[in-house]
Amino acid sequence: MTDISLDTLTTSAARPRRDIGIKKRYAAERRFRLYGVLAIAVGLAFLGVMLTSIISKGYTAFWQTTVTLPINFDEKIIDPSNKRATDPNVLITANYPKIAEAALIEKLGIDPNDKAEVRKLKGFLSDSSRVQLRAIVAADPSVIGTTRNVDILAAANLDSAFKGQIDLEVPESRRKVSDQQVEWMNKLKAEGVMAEHFNTGLFSYGASSRPETSGVGVALIGSFYMMVIVLLLALPIGVAASIYLEEFAKKSRFTDLIEVNINNLAAVPSIVFGLLGLAVFINFLGLPRSASFVGGLVLTLMTLPTIIIATRAALAAVPPSIRSAALGLGASKMQMVFQHILPLAAPGILTGTIIGLARALGETAPLLLIGMVAFVADYPTTPFDPATALPVQIYMWANEAERAFVERMSGAIIILLIFLMAMNIVAIVLRRRFERRW
């Protein structure tokens, strides 16, 4: 008896736990969680790296180096034979860069007759001085013969050097700025003559072959026109289509077809819309190439499915009790929709519209096909004039080799991202403030 009880006692006290692999299972659990965290970390890290890389390359584009020079509007250079009273062309074709150069020569204290020294100044000041000084003279011809301080843009390479982006350790022959120019630059910097200013030109200039005078001005206007067109066309048409499908259409083959169509259009590659625009709007209807009107139409077709899907969701979210109440009080179905359902669904519709617009603003591929890849230096006055768009401008700069263009490009990306961010924030705020949960 004692044997047995002892035996049972010992077994019950020291029975080894059956190994059901709990440790291994918990380890697997922890590993699985870790994979999840890693996945998210990879996504966020990429986002971080991408944004830092672009911002670090692009923020300098918002500053531009200028040289403040006392420009002497020398009559001997502008109008050597004194014919400007009779021939207005003299003031247009005058050698303005030479006055700017003369002012720089004087400032640096170089002997103007030392040809070798003077030649080293080549590429110090931007050639845009021609346009700038001409505008001053054209606005006020009496300035000729006087001296006034003017901010002249430094050439793109000097601008890069001033911002410290050119490695001065590299042998002189392999970089675009000579030692002499760097020395002059430092001298002017010490005198406070050469300095960085906020780059308003980035927002106002159009396309240019010189980086320092190229900007997103034309692209901003083109993008603005397109967004207005998309808003004016896609919002009413999209809302009308959704109202019909959600509130009026009886389920039939036809409405099924429309629905399948809309879902498919939402997933059609954007470049296909570009082909459509090229074949139908430009080739068949004969609308002008490169015009923001055509771009707006193409983007409208592309954005419509997004807006329709969002609007339908917003309409479906309005509870049926509202409908019943309106109908019960004697409203017609049309009155019910337009006076009761639509106002309640408006925040959702607007959110969807803004998100659709943001997508349209960043879209590039279809615009390439309808000829928005154009060198446009002048502001478009109507949506039918040649223009370009912000993302297309970025694409065009991406194909330029010069360092200064990469800077501009990154700056333009920052501008684009700021716009998109602002639109998304507005959408989120709208949703938070006005969306009702029923």
Q: How far apart are CA 96 and CA 78, in angstroms?
A: 7
> In the numeric block, which tokens belong to residue 23?
């440790």
> Distance of CA 163 to CAs 64, 226, 393, Å?
9, 35, 24
Interactions with other proteins, residue window 313-352 (CB under 8 A): 332-334
Interactions with other proteins, residue window 407-436 (CB under 8 A): 409-410, 413, 416-417, 420, 424, 428
Choice from 143, 322, 365, 426 touching other proteins (CB under 8 A) = 365
Contact between 356 and 234 under an 8 Å Cβ cutoff? The reply is: yes
CB of 377 to other proteins, least distance (A): 14
Q: How far apart are CA 148 and CA 94, in angstroms?
A: 18
Q: How far apart are CA 55 and CA 46, in angstroms?
A: 14
Interactions with other proteins, residue window 29-48 (CB under 8 A): 29, 31-33, 35-40, 42-44, 46-47
Choice from 6, 7, 8, 26 touching other proteins (CB under 8 A) = 26
Interactions with other proteins, residue window 266-295 (CB under 8 A): 267-276, 278-280, 283-284, 286
Residue 275 burial by CB count (10 A; 0-12/13-18/19+): exposed, middle or buried? middle
CB of 348 to other proteins, least distance (A): 17
Tell me the three state secondary structure of residue 71. Answer: strand
Q: Does 401 bind other proteins (CB under 8 A)?
A: no
| Listed residue (163, 153, 161, 158) closest to 200, CA to CA | 153
Interactions with other proteins, residue window 181-210 (CB under 8 A): none
CB of 15 to other proteins, least distance (A): 20
Q: Which of the ranges 173-181, 217-225, 302-310, 377-385 carries the binding residues for other proteins, by CB under 8 A?
A: 302-310
Tell me the three state secondary structure of residue 318. Answer: coil
CB of 430 to other proteins, least distance (A): 15
Choice from 69, 153, 308, 357 touching other proteins (CB under 8 A) = 308
CB of 236 to other proteins, least distance (A): 8
Q: How many residues bind other proteins (CB under 8 A)?
A: 86
Contact map string, positions 227 to 266, toward other proteins, x by CB under 8 A: ---------xxx-xxxxxx--xx-------xx-xxxxxx-
CB of 182 to other proteins, least distance (A): 26
Order of strands across the sheet with 63-72?
A: 147-153, 63-72, 194-198
Residue 11 burial by CB count (10 A; 0-12/13-18/19+): exposed, middle or buried? exposed
